[in-house]
Structure 1
Amino acid sequence: MPERYRLAVLLVVAASCLGLAACRPAPRVHFFAEGQPKTLDEWGVLRIEDGKLRLNEGVVPYDLNTPLFSDYAHKLRTVWMPAGTSAAYQPEQSFDFPVGTILSKTFYYPLPAGTAWDGRSVARTPPSQSSLEGEALDLSKVRLIETRLLVHRAEGWVALPYVWNEAQTEATLKRTGELVALELVGADGARETADYQVPDQNQCGGCHITDNKSRKLLPIGPKARHLNRDFDYAGGRENQLAHLARVGYLAGVPANPPRLVDAMDATAPLEARARAYLDVNCGHCHSATGPAITSGLWLDAGTQDRLKLGFCKQPIAAGKGTGNRLHDIEPGNAAASIFEFRMDSDDPAIMMPELGRSVVHREGVQVIRDWINAQPGSCEVAAGKSVNMLPVR
């Protein structure tokens, strides 16, 4: 191409880029091996551009088959890893992520249809519904609350909570957490107060310390059984495990990885829905290694022992949390089960899970209620002992 034509083309391109964000290179992700940056922007994982929250280069979004319930908040989850590194596949535990990995989770709410942000009102919609449009969130349609980072440093994982400002232009580090007063608005116009709690750094360990011996923070969500599903990426729909492997973020994916169902999918078997819900909401604590190991109640996906799952099991120590009920699960009778009593409460001294919510997940409680009511057998109490009376199979 003659020099004068080449220069002319460059001038046209430069002129067309004036004032257009699309012509500016996206900021690069910056991994901090130490310290606690004051703003989320310093990490370079997300950016605000053209009224939207966007992902920067190399940041990959993902979702879970069944999301953990957090006062009906929706979540934009992402993962970023240093160039040339990848996570190692593990069949049951969270993937083994390399040092330098940054996991982010942005909590947000859709706004009630046809309304602008009034400082309090947000829509109460199924948390599994995404508001992503081409891997971006339109800030005129959602309210950003917080973005939590889980950063893998040489000494282990570190949790950092960042809270978004009123203008949705910046998120700042809040090590001591924050209380955000919201009002959940249902499709029928019904309103419910929600005191959304941004956890402090110590409270993060309440869920992320999944090994009671090591007492180290670990990721919860990015496990094969949660991520084995399709996702609508900007480049098209693809299975998440296959996508992570294709972009070099995951190695060792087998031909048939495990998969849990969406607990809110009414077409899936009730047993599978209930176990998926309990696994993601309770199993990281109630397991053979979790902080609630001494309770004898194990609710992770791998547990099959019915007594450990709570059937005809008397609580070890629950205080007023029993509601004067005898067993964690009374087969065929959810109303007589401690499970339903604690899940259906918003009293901090009673409710389970005890962190991460201030309101009751009505739809989740209904799944567990239906599951318990569908269970065969009965519990016989004699001489102060509970006996699991189940049909012989």
Structure 2
Amino acid sequence: MPVKFFRYLLPAALLLLAGCHRAMPAVAFHADGRPTMLSDWHVVEARDGKLELNAGVVPYSLNSHLFTDYVHKLRTIWMPKGASAKYTANGPLDFPVGTIISKTFYYPRAADGKFSDVARTLDYSGDFAGQGLDLASVHMVETRLLVRRKDGWAPFTYVWNEAQTEAGLARTGDVQALTLVDAQGGREDFNYVVPDEGQCVTCHEADMLSRHIQPIGPKARHMNREYGYGSGRQNQLEHLVAMGYLMGLPALKDVPRDANWRDPSASLDARARAYLDINCAMCHNPNGVASVTGFSLGPDTPEDHRLGLCKSPEAAGPATGGRLFDIVPGKPDESILMYRMASTRPGVMMPEIGRSTVDREGEVLIRAWILSLKGNCDIVH
């Protein structure tokens, strides 16, 4: 065989071997146990300077995002071959056994900053393009998994190492000292708190009686939007249908849709209700852990005392700040809701877990919404 042939064969063989080395093993569904490393699942992994999604792992986003100290989130869904979720109009999609939902929490890195300096920005446009993250430009914090096992959903939290190469199981949570840096160079030190397993259950416990946990974000009204996949933009629910991951989807005109609370073209009421839905309604609903308050913030709650208008608190105690009602129409500074949103004091702030800073933009939105509400609390409903 001519030497010239080997000259071309060897580089090709080396490239093939390199490609095989980089290939990610198939997603591993663990029906029991608590795998100690995120890579044990092969859902998302750090490879060649990128956080890569495995084959069949579908990224998605929400119309409105839950606030968590300005952290950004990459969400994904994976299901076993031949399995699919069933459409539901109100609650989470009905996912089959074997489903793995992941949510990776990360920050864009602050320009010319230390590793602990992270950017305070709501702009996601430079973070990823449908399929992973550039690890050189982001600071990875944690990846949470919700795994649908035979006996229900199981939560797992993995914290990324400083080398940004792997994440380990953190059953008792974690605390990381970080500094938010805004576009003007303003700095805010805070402690990013990774929740322990008990705190995960608190937010995801959909029914106080059954004590079952379930996903919060992947509901039709939150996912009814377009996403920029590698192959182009498509409605997320229709994309899941095309992937074989969803059945029973009605025409999109018949699917509920929450507003994007940051969309100025949407009405103030729609934006505020969407914000309260994604940030508060997981607990503040008739069956949730805050049902005892009688304060419900779901999208279908009528605009009366059930939504907090002129309603005295049931269990807030000193967290009222001396205010009498959950929401006083036209008077945000007299509303308990506004007081608790603007606080970072344990026992006062709401949500009570999941943040150490104040959502300044969300606070502005809810303040404007309360100012727009008509009526007064002279006559208690």
**Partner SS state of residue 377, structure 2:** strand
CA distance in 1, matches of 2:276, 2:130: 31
Q: How far 1:13 sits from its partner (Å)?
A: 7.9
Q: How far 1:126 sits from its partner (Å)?
A: 1.1
Q: How far 1:15 sits from its partner (Å)?
A: 3.1
Structure 2 residue 380 is the aligned partner of structure 1 residue 387: yes
CA change 1:227–1:238 in 2 (3 A) is same
CA distance in 1, matches of 2:91, 2:49: 37
**Partner SS state of residue 340, structure 2:** helix
Equivalent residue, structure 1, for 2:193: 197
CA distance in 2, matches of 1:160, 1:278: 26
**Partner SS state of residue 208, structure 2:** coil
Gaps of 5+ in 2: none
8 A Cα contact 1:295 1:317, kept in partner: yes
Structure 2 residue 43 is the aligned partner of structure 1 residue 51: no
Equivalent residue, structure 2, for 1:61: 59
Which of residues 211, 218, 222 is equivalent to 1:215? 211
Task: Report matched runs for 1:300-319 at 5 Å.
Answer: 300-319=298-317
**Partner SS state of residue 298, structure 2:** coil
Equivalent residue, structure 1, for 2:247: 251
Which of residues 289, 292, 306 is equivalent to 1:291? 289
CA distance in 2, matches of 1:290, 1:314: 19
| Count of aligned pairs between the two proteins | 377
Task: Report matched runs for 1:17-96 at 5 Å.
Answer: 17=15, 20-21=18-19, 24-96=22-94
Which whole-Å deviations, capped at 9, do the CAs of 1:284-335 have from their partners, x for residues lacking one? Answer: 1000111111100000112114110000001012112111111111100101
Which whole-Å deviations, capped at 9, do the CAs of 1:255-300 have from their partners, x for residues lacking one? Answer: 1211111111122100000000000000010001111111000001
CA distance in 2, matches of 1:323, 1:47: 46
CA distance in 1, matches of 2:324, 2:28: 53
Q: How far 1:112 sits from its partner (Å)?
A: 1.5
CA change 1:239–1:138 in 2 (3 A) is same
8 A Cα contact 1:72 1:127, kept in partner: no
Which whole-Å deviations, capped at 9, do the CAs of 1:152-199 have from their partners, x for residues lacking one? Answer: 101110000000000000100010000011100011111111211111
Task: Report matched runs for 1:102-113 at 5 Å.
Answer: 102-113=100-111
Q: How far 1:14 sits from its partner (Å)?
A: 3.4
**Partner SS state of residue 17, structure 1:** helix
User: Identity, % of aligned pairs?
Assistant: 52
Gaps of 5+ in 1: 381-385, 389-393
8 A Cα contact 2:38 2:158, kept in partner: yes
8 A Cα contact 2:147 2:153, kept in partner: yes
Amino acid aligned to 1:318: A
Which of residues 157, 162, 165 is equivalent to 1:166? 162
8 A Cα contact 2:84 2:247, kept in partner: yes
Equivalent residue, structure 2, for 1:277: 275
What CA RMSD, in Å, does the superposition of the two structures yield over aligned residues?
A: 2.0
8 A Cα contact 2:107 2:119, kept in partner: yes
Q: How far 1:70 sits from its partner (Å)?
A: 0.5
CA change 1:49–1:280 in 2 (3 A) is same
| TM-score calculated relative to the size of structure 1 | 0.92
CA distance in 2, matches of 1:130, 1:78: 18
